[in-house]
Amino acid sequence: MSSGLLADRTAVITGAAQGIGFAIAARFIDEGARVVIGDINAEAAVAAARELGGDAVAVGAGCDVTSAADVEALLAVAAERFTPVDVMVNNAGITRDATMRTMTEEMFDQVIAVHLKGTWNGTRLAGAIMRANGGGTIVNMSSLSGKIGLAGQTNYSAAKAGIVGLTKAAAKELAHLGVRVNAIQPGLIRTAMTEAMPAKVWEQKMAEIPMGRAG
């Protein structure tokens, strides 16, 4: 039996082959959890799981969070390899930054689908398992962009704001069943996704940080 705050719990984390998701997975393992790493890049997910300690504590699998079937399959991996999900972290995300003048409908739809629909899929499907098992925890990754709005990110800001509303509504539906649903709104974190942002957007974000550095 392992020790730690998450001893013998099973966590499923989307978008966890790199960046914030990978860091969450590493910390969860340190706290005694077994983790299932989902990522659109299946090979990267498997490699990340291997780096985190391999089959005893981590397994990686491909997952397109916009597909309910993919999310169901990812949750099934948790039950097959470890135990049914205790902690779900809806972290998968993309950026398609542009001003409204240049942003296409496709760019808008892609970001809304991955962030908002993806989070809804994860919350809905993990929540169904947790309510049947008497409880669990769901963490949805929002962003300060969804709170304050950022130029060039109407799609991203809208999606991240939507996640907050989704989380509050889901929490009210599931609380009496022992399932907690919360959202996190990080500021600027240096990851492969954020480093791909246009320089102007990066500089704007940095200017808003009193310490002048990203997390």
pLDDT in tens, the chain (215 residues): 567 999 999 999 999 999 999 999 999 999 999 999 999 999 999 999 999 999 999 999 999 999 999 999 999 999 999 999 999 999 999 999 999 999 999 999 999 999 999 999 999 999 999 999 999 999 999 998 899 888 889 999 999 999 999 999 999 999 999 999 999 988 766 766 666 666 777 777 677 766 567 65
DSSP strand pairing (87-90 vs 58-62): unpaired
**What is the value of pTM for the model shown?**
0.90
The CATH homologous superfamily to which domain 10-188 belongs is NAD(P)-binding Rossmann-like Domain (3.40.50.720)
Catalytic option among 22, 108, 120, 156: 156
Roughly how many angstroms between the first and final C-alpha of the chain, as a whole number? 34
Rounded to whole angstroms, how far apart are CA atoms 90 and 13? 6
Is 174 marked active-site? no
> Are 184 and 140 a contacting pair, CB within 8 Å?
yes
Structural domain spans, the chain: 10-188
